[in-house]
Amino acid sequence: METILFNNIWIIPLITVLACLPISATREKLLRGIHTASATLVLAIVCYLTYRVYALTGEPANELAAPLALRFFTDIPWLSMFNAHYIVGADGLNMLLLALTAFIVWAGVLVSYKIKGNQKVFFALIQLLATSVYGVYMSFDLVLFFVFYEMEALCMYLMIACYGSGKRDYGGKKLTLTLAFGSSMILATLFGLYFEGGVNSWSIMELSKVSLPMEFQMWAFPLMFMGFAVSSSLFPFHFWSPDGHSAAPTAVSMLAAGVMMKMGAYGCLRVAMFLMPEAAKIWLPYVVALLIFNVVLGPFIALRHKDLKYITAYSSISHLGLIFLGLAALTPVGLRGASLQMISHGFLTGLFFATIGMIYERTHTRDITQMGGIMRKMPFLGVGFVLAGFAGLGLPGFSGFIAESTIFIGAFQQDSTLTRVVTILAILSITTTAVYILQTANRMLHGPLPQKYESLTDGCFREKLVIIVLVACLLFIGICPGWIADMLDTSIAPIFEKISAATQPVIGGIGG
């Protein structure tokens, strides 16, 4: 029964799209109602299943899914032409990411009520995007995984270019093509995994049982890791994210920054590092060097920007750098911190983009130099923005604190000077984060109120609900992180086991 519910997570959005096909585009109220109901239904299912995964922790999982402890495991032959199977399942990590996605999709639908243009198409695209993200987090077959992973390209361009603002065509193209570039790198290595693995299977579990030839791993790991890292905007592939996010409509920014950028980090952990641990040990120190840009320079760039979405985008770049710092640490604590940061940052950036979108809807500008004093007119949205900022700079009590400190502890445990230096720099750069967040909040929310903003109104019930729910999630994770850490540990354990079991062969010339 629960397995059927689980499989419905990605099917319900699709059914919603089909159900809305015959409805005329002019009946916007009905369309919005259907989509809100569907998103709420998925959210409820996901919350229930997350609880079930938590409750089942420690109990023996399906043996077919070994070495991973997967619940709701389904394995159906799919495309026999190339042995692809439909394999889905959930352990702690991806169940929590599914929960995050469900919250963000729900919030995304709620904030898009007033979007201009053809709402029928817009909501259909949001649901398709949701399907793609759900699918990525559920699938354990590489073909299925890739199909869902690449599906986003179809929705993203149309949503940004048709419903966005500013340089929307440019931003949309930049985002879509860069992401497609990343996924083409992944696709090229997927074939190698299949043919070099020698088990004639695309299943992550099957492939994790064999050890791939070292020559193959040495070229495939960096290709695949960077392919995934493109969508997590790791330097030097970060350039799409500020332009893309600033051009996108609110809901798309929320989904892109909140959940899609985590797909890359998730793929790095679940596919690249899990299947090619030997090469991961050799290559990851070089990734740490790249992180200096993300973590240290990212906040400084955010400091110089005046556009709210650019600021948030660069803040996301720096926060996602921290995820990679946790991954590159290769310690259980580091991996747990990275996973926690994926979830925490999803809620945080979702809240950020939601409040920015609501404020933009009213002020019609995102330039912070032209705003001021809007706290007086919109106290609720202002407080929401400030809370998102506090969570972003890692204030204790919010989820950001617990995630970032775990990453720092984990990274410092690693016995490498480079990692430690980068960790110290990252800790120091929190100050910069604090500076730009407080400066932005100050300029925007306080000071004299421009004449033209006299008639602005505060958020309506729908918008307040979104802010309250997202803030509650942030606080919930921040105040009692224990149960989430328990859930994450069960899914990180097999990955770490595989990595620590990997002996590091000596290869002349590269790393070591």
Partner 1 sequence: MYSFFNMNFIIPDILLLLFPFIVIGSRLFCNYRSQLPWRIANFGFIAIFILLNFIPLASGEGRFFICNWKIDDFGVLMREVLIVSAILGIWLSKDYFEHGADGKPQMHQIAEFIGAIAFATFGGVTVVSACDLLTFFLGLEIATIPMYALTAWNKKDQLGSEAATKYILMGSVATAFELFGFSYLYGFAGSLHFGEIQQAIATGTSPLLWVAVLFLFCGIGFKLTLFPFYTWAPDVYEGAPTPVTAVLSVTSKATAIAFLVVLVFGPLAPVQEQIAPLIALLAGTTLFVGNLGALKQSRLRRFMAYSSIAQAGYIMVALLGPASTAKTAIVYYLFVYAVSNYLAFFIFGIIGHHREETFASLRGLSKQNPSLAVALAISMFSLAGIPPLAGFFGKFHLFFSGASTGHYALVAFAVLNNVLALYYYIQLIKSAWVDEPDGHLSPLRLTRRQRGVIIALSISVVALGFLPFLSNNVFAGFSF
Q: Which residues bind partner 1 (CB under 8 A)?
A: 25, 77-82, 118, 121, 143, 146-148, 150-151, 153-154, 157-158, 161-162, 168-169, 173, 176-177, 180-181, 184-185, 187-188, 191-192, 194-195, 223
Q: How far apart are CA 345 and CA 178, in angstroms?
A: 22
Closer to partner 1 by Cβ: residue 158 or 395:
158
Q: Which of 283, 87, 256 is nearest to 164 (CA)?
A: 256
Closer to partner 1 by Cβ: residue 128 or 484:
128
Closer to partner 1 by Cβ: residue 172 or 459:
172
Q: How far apart are CA 400 and CA 342, in angstroms?
A: 10
Query: What's the CA dihedral at 317, 322, 325, 326 to 10 degrees?
Result: -140
Q: Minimum Å distance from CB 102 to partner 1? A: 21
Question: Residue 248 is encoded by which pair of tokens?
Answer: 């996108």
Q: How far apart are CA 325 and CA 311, in angstroms?
A: 21
Q: Minimum Å distance from CB 339 to partner 1? A: 27
CB 265 within 8 A of CB 323: yes
Q: How many helices (H) and strands (E) does the chain have?
A: 22, 2
Q: Minimum Å distance from CB 82 to partner 1? A: 5
In terms of phi and psi (left: phi > 0; alpha: psi -120 to 50; beta: otherwise), the region of 265 is alpha
Closer to partner 1 by Cβ: residue 241 or 440:
241
Closer to partner 1 by Cβ: residue 146 or 353:
146
Q: Which of 179, 302, 290 is nearest to 246 (CA)?
A: 302
Q: How far apart are CA 318 and CA 315, in angstroms?
A: 5
Closer to partner 1 by Cβ: residue 223 or 456:
223
Residue 421: half-sphere exposure toward Cβ, Cα within 13 Å:
9
Q: Minimum Å distance from CB 122 to partner 1? A: 12
CB 98 within 8 A of CB 52: no
Residue 240: half-sphere exposure toward Cβ, Cα within 13 Å:
26
Question: Residue 174 is encoded by which pair of tokens?
Answer: 């930049």
Q: Minimum Å distance from CB 20 to partner 1? A: 13
Closer to partner 1 by Cβ: residue 188 or 472:
188
Q: How far apart are CA 94 and CA 255, in angstroms?
A: 16
Q: How far apart are CA 112 and CA 191, in angstroms?
A: 39
Q: Minimum Å distance from CB 79 to partner 1? A: 5
Chain centroid to Cα 345, Å, comes to 8
Distances, alpha carbon 374 to alpha carbons 6, 182, 381, 464, 467, in Å: 43, 40, 9, 16, 17
Closer to partner 1 by Cβ: residue 176 or 315:
176
Q: Which residue has the tokens 């889905």?
A: 88
Q: Minimum Å distance from CB 365 to partner 1? A: 23
Question: Residue 91 is encoded by which pair of tokens?
Answer: 């352990």
Q: Minimum Å distance from CB 492 to partner 1? A: 29
CB 160 within 8 A of CB 178: no
Closer to partner 1 by Cβ: residue 192 or 285:
192
Closer to partner 1 by Cβ: residue 14 or 47:
14
Q: Minimum Å distance from CB 15 to partner 1? A: 15
Q: Which helix (H) or strand (E) holds 184?
A: helix 168-197
Q: Minimum Å distance from CB 179 to partner 1? A: 10
